[in-house]
Structure 1
Amino acid sequence: MRVRERLLDLGLWLLLCVPVLLKSDPNDGGSWGLVAVGVTVLAGCVAVGRRWPLAPLAVTVAASLPASLELFTPSYSLALIAFGFLAGRRQEHTAAALWLFGAVAAVGLLLTVVTRTSLGQWFTLLLALALAVVAPWLIGRYVRQYDRLVRSGWELADRMEREQAAVADRERLRERSRIAGDMHDSLGHDLALIAIRAGALEVDPGLGPAQQQAAGELRRAAADATARLRDIIGVLREDGAAAPTTPPGETVEDLVARARSSGLAVALATTPVPALPGMPGLALHRVVQEGLTNAAKHAPGTAVTVEVAEDTGTVLVRVASGPPGATGATGPAGPAGPAGPASGGTGLVGLDERVRLAGGTLAHRVGGDGGFVLEAVLPRNPPAPAAAPAAPTSARELDRARRQVRKGLAQAIWIPLALLVALGALMAGVALWTQHQSYLEPEDYAGMRVGQSLGQLADDLPDRPLDGPPERPPDEPPGMDECRYYRSTMLAAIPVYRLCFVDGHLAGKAEVP
């Protein structure tokens, strides 16, 4: 990269030296000393241009103004254009460049006043500044903004690809966590029912000691499998993972019947259970499943009541179980077995999230008899889909980059036009002011008499005469010390009045066509 930059700088220096060699040599009114100075100055400007983009432009302007107050010189005009473009291309901020342009205009006006030259040269300097410096600078600004847009586009495209890959990975992990959650919910429920069946066999008097011992081992194995399943699923669960929305394949009546056939003393107080569509229906099934699972795990043998009540727009589901150790409807509770580890609470946490996503609320409490009550209020209709997410950060950055490029393009087009319009208006105003300063009223001209002194004519004469006679004027009368020309009309350049003086007295007057 450094070698490429050096080669580009060398090529730029050689190109800018060509006008200096052609226009500053002795054959064109210059000298080899001026050529050496110009070549050396251009070499220094190119060398520091990448670090200080405005320095070469300022040096080139400083080298051009002494040669011509109009700023346009054959030797350095190409350098002005090139350094103006590079300053716009390389400079990050615009304030310093605008200050430089204003300083060039102010210095040009000061030199015009000091050297007592016509304001027309200053207007020419402003025009050269606008066309040879400001316009290339604006083009450089636009190229910079466009390159930034292209670079930002590629960077954002690469970032979006990485973000899409990350989103895909997150979705896969989230789907795995959903599967893990369903495994915990469904397998945990089934294992709890297996433990209930094994507990019933363990106390069945019709079985021998060996069979009862095997049933007890089966019950303990089911309890251990439930604990291990909870630990594994707790590791696989992802924080904030959304609940699955696919409804289960069985109804609440089927769920209660399956639990009753497994030995759980459960009664369904509402038949038929109202059907809910979509996520509310899934949440209803999960509330009943979680309530039965908790009753089988923590209060085996107690009576469980499932109740579903309809209201306007909502459905209330309640699963209530008796206190641990109570007598159920089907007989005494089986052996409690060894106490396992406390529940991790992930079932209720996941259930609360599922009910919330369905648009409902979940509550659980200890009942008046010491049992456990699980309640949920669900809407009859599925909640409205979530609003579309806001535009990603990368899209906003790309849109901002596009707006900056459009702004740079507008600046590259409108700023030169505005400068030209302002310059034209300024030139027109100064021209009108200058014409008014040299306008001689026809009545005052008619009242002037040959022989009057300048003091007598001072009240009638304008503030200043014209800079010179009009194009191809008639010969001036011989023997005159001085002839002055004044406008006879405000807008037209001809005809003009000519007043000739000898020894400070009017010696002749005429209207020059």
Structure 2
Amino acid sequence: MAVRRRARELWARLTDPAQWNWRRMTGEAVLALGLGLLTALAEELSGRGWILVVLASLAVVLLSLVRRTLPATALVLTAAMSGMSVNGAFLLLMVASWSAGRRIDAVLRALGAYAAAFVLFEVLVLRELRPVSPESVLATLMFLVLTVVPGLTGRYWAQRRTLVRTLQERHLQLLREREMVAGQARMRERQRIAQDMHDSLGHQLALIAVQTGALEVSRGLSDQQREAVGVLREASVTAMRELRAVVGVLKDGTVGDEEPDARVVAGIGGLVDSAAAAGVRVRLERSGEARPLAPAADHAAYRLVQEGLTNACKHARGAAITVCLRYEPDSLVVEVANGPTPQEAGTGRSEAVSGGQGITGLRERARLTGGIVHAGPVEGGGFRLAGVFPYGAGEDGGTTTFVAAEDDFRQQLTAVAPGEGEPVNGRLDPREEFKNVMSLRKNNGCLIGCVVGLVLLVGLVVLVVLGFGMVLKEADKAMIDHKTYESIRVGASEEAVRKELPSGRSFLTDGLQGQGPAEPAGAKCLSLLAKDSSSELSTERVYRFCFKEGKLVEKRDFRVAM
């Protein structure tokens, strides 16, 4: 049962759709096919039978396809094939080592996989080659170069990607923390402002409401004066209610228990009626079919009428005021216009009315909703304040706007998460973020791995250079060319011949003694290897010189099995 369960788990890992998108499938198929063809060509040139050629090619293709899911297994099996002199396996060895370096997370497991691959390769190589021979040394160095360098490179690349991803996640975390700190600072500042407004304005407005209430019931006032005082009392009560609403917004973002229609377009009629009750000559005109607005635009339209009436009462006393609401197909047009004051009617001109901070604030409110505000004198005297406020969503699903894209704050606000603060793009799950951070620490850190990998790479390069230098030095002690062999004559003195020949004291010639034809009786022989290349890969050419009584008595040329 355990074997079946493991087999099902392995099959699920190999066929996981997340690992095999169309691009990866194409790349892996091309790579596996290329390695298989190169292996078949190399094995065919080596004189292997067609059965061995097919088996080696299929093994290379299979290992290439599973190296991502089973990196350690693919590395060890590829090393075994390289040790069995499968020529195409050396190309796969680089690819398998790269995948193992990238995908084996645990350091000890990676070291174990590479050590097992090296030991298995050496065992299989030494079964066919002498332990201390040029071929075995070169095979070992080639194996180390083809495994260690790609493995370290792959591990460095994987750790660098992990480090970059972790730094990005930490950066996003810091942005979120900065947003939280800034939000808390804004909340404290708003609470302080709200407290100051409540303490200063609230007290004064309460006194006004109490005094006007007492004055309203005074017997010494006429009916007209009592009505004016009642309007003042209602205005102070309304101001108190709006102050509580503003304080509530500043403290915790809640509006309070105010009626929904108090400060929106639906409340403009009541605003005009209050002004008319105070003796202002004002009338309200409506046109078009009423349509709902976005909450911000609805409130901004109400504030525009409120600001227009206030400015007209302050700067154009006695002038007739017209409030106009026109529902256009794409927007609501709100207009507050007053004619010239009675004392200026004869001159035909009026002084320009300054909007001050009120009109500046209206323009900002309108810009936040995608609308515009215009204020200025009109021809013939008077002043006009008008605003255009778009409706919510259009028929095409979009939103009408009358400002430039860079000034449309609604597009920016939609990118902000619930709450206040600057939008942060690329938000990630904090649990995934901290999991990656902890996994990076668990792997002993990317910097340590990079430093160790660099040291190992430098040591490997030094080892390769020293190994080649040692092999060349030993070759000078144990090898001669055919021309030198032909130039030496039998009968020459031993001293003269040895001056032309190397010493022969090298590990390359250790296994040559006693090989080849029988040596002359009583002679001392020196066996050397030939420098010229041999057409037969399984044999080695040997030159032997035998000395007796101070002279060269024989020289022989023969071959020995490798």
TM-score by length of 2: 0.42
TM-score by length of 1: 0.45
Higher relative contact order (CA 8 A, sep 6+): 1
